[in-house]
Amino acid sequence: MTTLPMLTIRGRTLLPIVQGGMGVGVSAHRLAGAVAKEGALGTIASIDLRHHHPDLLERCKADSARATLEVANQEALAREIGAAKRLSEGRGMIAVNVMRAVSSYADSVRTACESGADAIVMGAGLPLDLPDLTEGVDIALIPILSDSRGIALVLKKWLKKNRLPDAIVIEHPAHAGGHLGVAHLADMQDARFDFARVIAETMQTFDTLGIERTRIPLIVAGGVNSHEAVRACFAAGAAGVQLGTPFAVTEEGDAHPNFKRILAEAAPEDIVDFVSVTGLPARAVKTPWLMRYLKNEERIRTKIGARKQNCPTGLDCLAVCGLRDGIEKFGHFCIDTRLSAALRGDVANGLFFRGREALPFGSAIRSVRELLDLLLGATRPAAA
Ligand SMILES: Cc1cc2nc3c(=O)[nH]c(=O)nc-3n(C[C@H](O)[C@H](O)[C@H](O)COP(=O)(O)O)c2cc1C
């Protein structure tokens, strides 16, 4: 099917295309299972999967204690992993994406291990304790980082625990969707994030630390949207590519059709970078709620920015939250409420994360298989 080299993660041979985790239900069992069934790596995002399970939402409505919400979330994750594994028919790999910035990250890692996930992919913070949390479990560990300094730090810490990552995702903050791995909006375009540079510097780190150069596959993420782009990543030394937005808008994507339409129809000028409640920059489509929020951002900050508040959902999903903890420089909105509204297709009230670049099929919604074929070059005329 493809002349690109296959990707090997923890002894499994996969198509070199990874579907990135997309939170609050955008990548759940249907998308991850469909990707894995094609022989690639599909990822379930662990955060607040209750929204796909009406019975769990009912249970939480009846009893809104934080412990009940948390148990329901973990139950939803376990169900989604089981359903994705069944859909995959034993092919490819099912990963669980866990954000380090989320308060329940350790519980989600545990659920992923107990429910038979093949890999844990951790971003939004340094996954320094991931080897301890998964000790004795045969599961691939894949950190998401953006520059070679972060990679070197994780490698050195993990080496002390006798563990190496089974792959590393290198995500470019100027192109990717959702939360971005950079402290300040102004740093986004910094040359230290260029894929070729991060890969070259990481190879040097491998040499210094005595790690074989081919031991840990490097997977690049952010803005990959054509076969040519995939080839360029491989030419820079990548062993695989991860995509988010193009998978979110596939037929199998787990979000509402309105969610897919908003992402697919967004023109470059409709996409905006802003500071999220996590304190990290994020990228999304300028939909009515976000435009209103950004228009009033300064006023909201000066008015309530430093005031502590109760978590509006009772979930306390983030370890540190600008809204709940009254951190003036951070964003001030409830991210779980906004992302779950987007998942349901509520265009007026939702927050629609999206990558920066144009999509492989423009505004058309196609299947996972068609997307993989396009990326792998299988649909190109033989003469091309
Ligand atoms: C709607 C959406 C939600 C996302 N949520 C998460 C998430 O929960 N965790 C994570 O590690 N990355 C998340 N990402 C990042 C993707 O996994 C992926 O790495 C990134 O979008 C790649 O860039 P691309 O969209 O240009 O392909 C999200 C991206 C999008 C578009």
The alpha carbon of 356 and the centre of ligand 1 are apart by a number of angstroms equal to 11
354 touches ligand 1 (CB under 6 Å): yes
The alpha carbon of 337 and the centre of ligand 1 are apart by a number of angstroms equal to 18
The tens place of each residue's pLDDT in the chain, 384 residues long, gives 458 999 999 999 999 999 999 999 999 999 999 999 999 999 999 999 999 999 999 999 999 898 999 999 999 999 999 999 999 999 999 999 999 888 899 999 999 999 999 999 999 889 999 999 999 999 999 999 999 999 999 999 999 999 999 999 999 999 999 999 898 888 999 999 999 999 999 999 999 999 999 999 999 999 999 999 999 999 999 999 999 999 999 999 999 999 999 999 999 999 999 999 999 999 999 999 999 999 999 999 888 888 898 888 888 888 888 999 899 899 999 999 999 999 999 999 999 999 999 999 999 999 999 999 999 996 544 443
Atom of ligand 1 nearest to the CA of 221: 22
Which one-letter amino acid corresponds to residue 318?
L
Probe target for ligand 1 pocket from 121, 245, 359, with the most ligand atoms within 8 Å of CB:
245
350 touches ligand 1 (CB under 6 Å): no
Those residues whose C-beta lies under 8 Å from the C-beta of residue 219, and which sit 6 or more positions away, are 7, 18, 142, 167, 168, 169, 170, 238, 239, 240, 241, 242
- Compute, in degrees rounded to 10, the torsion defined by CA atoms 294, 311, 248, 111: 160
Scored b (16 or more CB within 10 A) or e, 105-123 reads bebbbbbbbebebbbbbbb
Domains of the chain, first to last: 7-255+358-376 (3.20.20.70), 264-343 (no CATH)
- The pTM score is 0.96
